[in-house]
Structure 1
Amino acid sequence: MMGAGPRRYSMLSRKPAVATSDEQTSKVRTRWRLWKDSKGGVAAIVAFSTIPMIAAAGLAADGLLAMLARAELSSAVDAGALAGARAFKQADLQAQARKYVYGNFNRGEIQEPPSVIVGQADGTVAVSATAVVPTNFMKLFGVDTMTVTAAATAQALGAGGMELSLVLDITGSMKGTKLSTLKTSANNLLNVLYKDQDTVENLAVAVVPFAGRVNIKPRREWMTTQPFLWQWWWTGCANERSGNAAYDDTPPATTKFPDFAPGGSVMNAGSYCPPNAALPLTASKATVKALIDGFQASGNTRTDIGMSWGWRTLSPKWRGVWTSGSTTPVDYDDPKVRKIAVLMTDGENTPWQSGDNESEAQTYAKLGNTCQGMKDNGIIIYTITFQAPANIDPYYSACATTPDHHFFSAPTEADLEEAFGRIGSEITRDNVRLVR
């Protein structure tokens, strides 16, 4: 029998040693100390990061305050510039502008009186202002105020000056109370423009009374033919030219006007030519009033021809043509002068009554071309239909600068007076706009 040898154990079967209670306690204490140390580090990090977070929140809040203040200051200087432009010709222009700046800003304190610079050459008023706004949060970090600035420029369109052409229907259907009402309405407009003065700086008025044609006496040199003794029987009315010149502002030096010979004879022209001749731009209220007071109604209606002559009284191409050596009409882009036309008619176009070859539709097409050409050159157009058929209103609303604002339908005499009154009230207020 073999003797027993030493006992051997496999490494796989060896059991791990069991830690003592002292060792376990030591490990728990070590972990606790590590957890306490990390908690203290996080607290420090949070503490240090809170300060910039608060500052950032304060900056955002005060930044919003600054944005609101800047927006309000911008609105205030806009109001100031517009007020100054409306008062362009008044001595207290700067005071008016500053009054509106102060009155429209409440979020801080304007440091100095707002700057107000007047551009006499182009009718502009430039206003700028700087304001100090108190902070709410940033004062905790030593920032008590913020500064905001704003600027605006407004322009007085025309800067108070005006060239006005009154294109007025004096056809036979205007006889009686209708013509009397027209005279009253037009004179009321003159009273608004001139008040008690006979002349006003940079104001000139033209009057184009029309029927089947427009009387341009005594300007026979504009005609293609001038036969001997023509001055004794020429009625004063020219015929239409051909092409675009029939309705645009081409001057007679470029294209002269043919004879008006209804029925083939110039001797018949008197039945369709109004007795009152057109008046070019004139400074004197008394001269304009005398023509209006002397209106005599006769003839048929051609608003397209009347309006084409209205354009010619305002076109700078005709400077020195109506009146030798005249400085009017001024250029279209003259910043000191607005150009305005008022067209009034009481009925449909009737080309057949004067033997014209055009259809009624063709005459309205010419009217539309004339109105568009005038508007393309910056002329403001008001149109009025007076006791006229409703079917013609679309032609005149389209002719006007805007259908809703510049077109008037006047079914009664009172409505006609009101229309002229509203036009007068509007055009005497200097139209203004913000330009930057």
Structure 2
Amino acid sequence: MIRIQHLARRFVSDRRGSIVVPLAICTGVCLMVTGAAIDYTRAFNAKVDLQAAVDATALAANYDSQGLSEDKVKANAEGYFKAIYPGDIDEVELDVSVVKGTVTVTAGKPVNTVLGSLMNKPQIDVRVMSQTVVGKATFDVVMVLDNSGSMAGSRMSTLKKAAKDLTETLFKINEDGDRKDRVQIGLVPFTSFVNVGADKATASWMDQEGASPIHWKNFETRSNGTPDPAEFDSKLLTNGKPSRFTLFKQLKHTDWLGCVEARPMPYDVDDTPASSSNPATLFVPQFAPDEPSNANKKWGDSYYNNYLDDDRGACRTSSKKAARSSGMDRWEYAQKRLCKYKDQPRSLGNTTVNGPNYWCKTQPITDLTNDKSQVLRDIQTMNADGHTNIHQGAVWGWRVLSPSEPFTKGREPKKDEEEEHVRVMIVMTDGENTYQGQNSFNKTRINAYGYGTEERLGNGVDTYWEIQDKMDDRLLQTCSNAKKGGVQVYTVAFQISSSSTINMMKNCATTPAMAFDAKSNSALVDAFERIAEEITKLRLQM
């Protein structure tokens, strides 16, 4: 008995091999944790694949829904899911319902566990859902695209690819459904000016009678601010009144190319329809005046757009002599006198290097259309040349989306939720707003806001850098007004180093998430792809 007690005490006090039991317990726990991690990772990956397929199916069902019965929509959706799901379709429990125009797609599948059976959990059930409203929405989308000289080369070719891809993606909605005009797309290329199209010369919203308060800036006028009709060819007047169109016609074989100046404030930041009862709302054709010849220039001044002899045409006295009774300096009078445009045999053709179409570098606006070939063709013909006026691009983008003149293909937003209409503006630029200085009494070169001396953007705003700051302000005001008007605004800053410009573009967008900062060519393509995806999502509810 004593020996047994002795052996028992030795066994209890023996510490050899004491780690084995805890080690076995810890090893078991580690294996269970590792197994659980593996099981849940597999379940997560399966859920990602399932969710992607369900989202795509819900959207596809939406696109294909026009004119189809709910049973047909459901059958199409089931077929689409089976075609795109990468896993074993037999493992998936799929349900598609169409109730009052809402497509709901739910899917579930079991994922077998590795070690879950030890915890009495041999499977993890994965379930996902996606829902869209059957496609009764319509979309008007306008791309406002920077065509300035800095976009030359690979930047322009990349922009063309990005715009082409977005166009094809969005027009697929029309191609896949019964309704072929569900999506309309327009283009607003911009540089220093926006070109509304030379065919708009006789449009009612163009200032054909010289009535706008900015129409005769930089031209000789009487005390009432209008020119003497006797200074013009009477056969070329409109309702007995002269305009810049009259000046174009007096210059042989020199056509207006379609560029317009900015409307005076506050109409430069809105889509107020043009009306002859409010001349400030009318659109004024660009006509860059002939700047002083060397004989009449102010000492030390430099000019970039001298294209006529100040004392030729119908002028009967020299600028030097006539200026004495005008109350103006000789160089100012030489620039403003009208007689030099009359009986003028000189032909300036369609040049934009100098002449009345100075810096009208960009191609015309493409109005909203569902003609894919036209949009793709106009994208491919874009050319990089000129300076940057983002403000004018954006405000004309908004005007294209508006149903009222000057462009009237924009559709009215629908109040009925089932007939929703979405208006989208995409504003893309690769640089800051720019205005060109000039060492002359004009203070700047002629541009969309005239010369600096006119102070069109506010009292005392007459230098190129002050005008550029105001252009930023006017852009943001335009974006704010457009957003209040129901326009969804996306912005893309392309290879821009200026943090202030990047922030300006971000503030222009409807939300920060709708502002893209594309640092490379590939990032620009990705930005347009993401915007297209966002638009095509409609009202996808996860």
Q: Tell me, what secondary structure is at the counterpart of 2:526?
A: helix
Residue identity opposite 2:399 in structure 1: R
State the match for 2:539 in structure 1: 431
Mapped to 1, the partners of 2:190 and 2:402 lie a distance apart of 18
The residue identity in structure 2 corresponding to 1:246 is: D
Alignment of 1:75-114 (within 5 A): 87-91=61-65, 93=73
8 Å contact 1:89–1:159 — kept in the other structure? no
Deviation readout 1:310-331 (Å, 9 max, x if unpaired): 000101223xx436xx5x3333
2:290 is the counterpart of 1:181:
no
CA–CA separation in structure 1 for the residues paired with 2:153 and 2:263:
33
Query: Percent sequence identity over matched residues?
Result: 31
- Once the two structures are superposed, the pairs formed by residues 218-237 of structure 1 within 5 Å of their partners are 218-220=199-201, 221=203, 222-224=205-207, 225=210, 226=243, 227-228=245-246, 230=248, 232-237=254-259
| Aligned counterparts of 1:244 and 1:322: Cα–Cα separation in 2 | 20
Match of 1:213 in 2: 193
Identify if the C-alpha distance between structure 1 residues 86 and 375 changes in structure 2 by more than 3 Å, giving closer, same or farther.
farther
Is 1:84–1:96's contact at 8 Å kept on the other side of the alignment?
no
- Asked if structure 1 preserves the Cα contact closer than 8 Å seen for 2:494 and 2:518, the reply is yes
Q: Deviations over 1:204-248 (max 9, x none)?
A: 101000001100112123322453473642121111111221111
Q: Quick one: distance in 2 between partners of 1:396 and 1:158? A: 31
Question: Structure 2: how far apart are the matches of 1:158 and 1:381?
Answer: 22
For 1:412, the aligned partner's letter is S
Shift of 1:352: 3.1
In the alignment, what sits opposite 1:292? 379
Partner residue in 2 for 1:201: 181
Aligned residues of 2:132 and 2:538 also touching (Cα < 8 A)? no
Q: Distance in 2 between matches of 1:219 and 1:345?
A: 26
State the shift of 1:425 in Å: 1.7
Q: Does 1:379 align with 2:360?
A: no
Gaps (5+ residues) in structure 1? 1-79, 99-112, 128-153
Name the structure 2 match of 1:344.
Answer: 428
| Cα distance, 1:90–1:290 mapped onto 2, change above 3 Å | closer
Partner of 1:146: none
Contact 1:86 1:430 in 2 (8 A): no
Residue 360 in structure 1 maps to residue 386 in structure 2:
no
CA distance in 1, matches of 2:60, 2:486: 20
Aligned to 2:333: none
Distance change (3 Å), C-alpha of 1:178 and 1:157: farther
The aligned counterpart of 2:412 is 330
- In the alignment, what sits opposite 1:302? 389
Task: Please give the alpha-carbon distance, in whole angstroms, between the structure 2 residues aligned to 1:177 and 1:84.
Answer: 37
In the TM superposition, residue 84 of structure 1 has moved relative to its aligned partner by: 6.7
Aligned equivalent of 1:274: 361
CA contact (8 A) 1:340 1:379 kept: yes
Amino acid at match of 2:206: M
In the other structure, the counterpart of 2:477 is: 369
Residues 214 and 305 of structure 1 are in contact (CA less than 8 Å); yes or no, is this contact kept in structure 2? yes
Q: Measure how far apart 1:263 and its partner are.
A: 5.9
Partner of 1:168: 145
RMSD: 3.6
- Kept after mapping to 1: 8 A contact 2:262/2:268: yes
| Residues in 2 aligned to 1:114 and 1:182: alpha-carbon distance in whole angstroms | 39
CA 1:191–1:114: 2 relative to 1, 3 Å: closer
Q: 1:116 to 1:259 in 2, by over 3 A?
A: closer
Q: Deviations over 1:164-212 (max 9, x none)?
A: 0000000111111111111111111112122494994311101000001
Identify the residue that residue 271 of structure 2 maps to in structure 1: 249
2: CA distance, partners of 1:292 / 1:245? 29
1:97 Cα shift?
A: 10
Letter in 2 for 1:406: M
The residue identity in structure 1 corresponding to 2:411 is P
SS in 1 for 2:259: coil
Deviation readout 1:296-319 (Å, 9 max, x if unpaired): 11111110010000000101223x
How far did 1:348 drift? 0.6
Residues 86/260 of structure 1: CA separation in 2 closer, same or farther (3 Å cut): same
The SS at the match of 1:351 is coil
Which whole-Å CA distance do the structure 2 matches of 1:330 and 1:283 have between them?
16
SS of corresponding position for 1:409: strand
Shift of 1:125: 7.0
Does the 8 Å CA contact 1:125/1:155 hold for their aligned counterparts?
yes
Instruction: Read off the aligned partner of 1:118 and give its amino acid letter.
Output: K
SS at match of 1:383: strand
**Residue identity matched to 2:507:** A
Q: Which has the larger radius of gyration?
A: 1
Runs of at least 5 residues in structure 2 that lack an aligned partner in the other structure: 1-53, 66-71, 79-94, 106-130, 211-242, 292-304, 306-353, 438-444, 458-466
Is 1:415 the counterpart of 2:523? The answer is yes
Q: Deviations over 1:81-118 (max 9, x none)?
A: xx9788444445567999xxxxxxxxxxxxxx999542
TM-score normalised by length of structure 2: 0.50
State which drifts further: 389-398 or 352-361: 352-361
C-alpha deviation, 1:418, in angstroms: 0.9
Aligned partners of 2:288 and 2:358 also within 8 Å = no
Secondary structure class of the residue paired with 1:271: coil
1:406 alignment partner in structure 2: 514
Any idea what SS the aligned residue of 1:316 has?
Answer: coil
C-alpha deviations, 1:48-92, integer Å up to 9, x for none? xxxxxxxxxxxxxxxxxxxxxxxxxxxxxxxx9xx9788444445
Report the CA distance between 1:369 and its aligned residue.
0.9
Give the number of aligned pairs: 307
* CA-CA distance at 1:290 after TM superposition: 0.8
Letter of the 1:162 partner, please give it.
Answer: F
Q: Which string of whole-angstrom CA distances, capped at 9 and with x for unpartnered residues, describes residues 12-57 of structure 1?
A: xxxxxxxxxxxxxxxxxxxxxxxxxxxxxxxxxxxxxxxxxxxxxx
Task: Give, in angstroms, the shift of residue 363 of structure 1.
Answer: 0.6
Inter-CA distance 115–88: structure 2 relative to 1 (3 Å threshold) = closer
Change in 2 beyond 3 A, CA 1:333/1:295? farther
SS at match of 2:404: helix
Match of 1:209, SS? strand
Residue range with higher mean Cα deviation, 88-97 or 376-385: 88-97
Structure 1 SS opposite 2:426: strand
Counterpart residue type for residue 349 of structure 1? N
Residue deviations 1:400-420, cap 9 Å, x none? Answer: 1111x1111111111111111
Q: How far apart are the structure 1 equivalents of 2:468 and 2:528?
A: 27
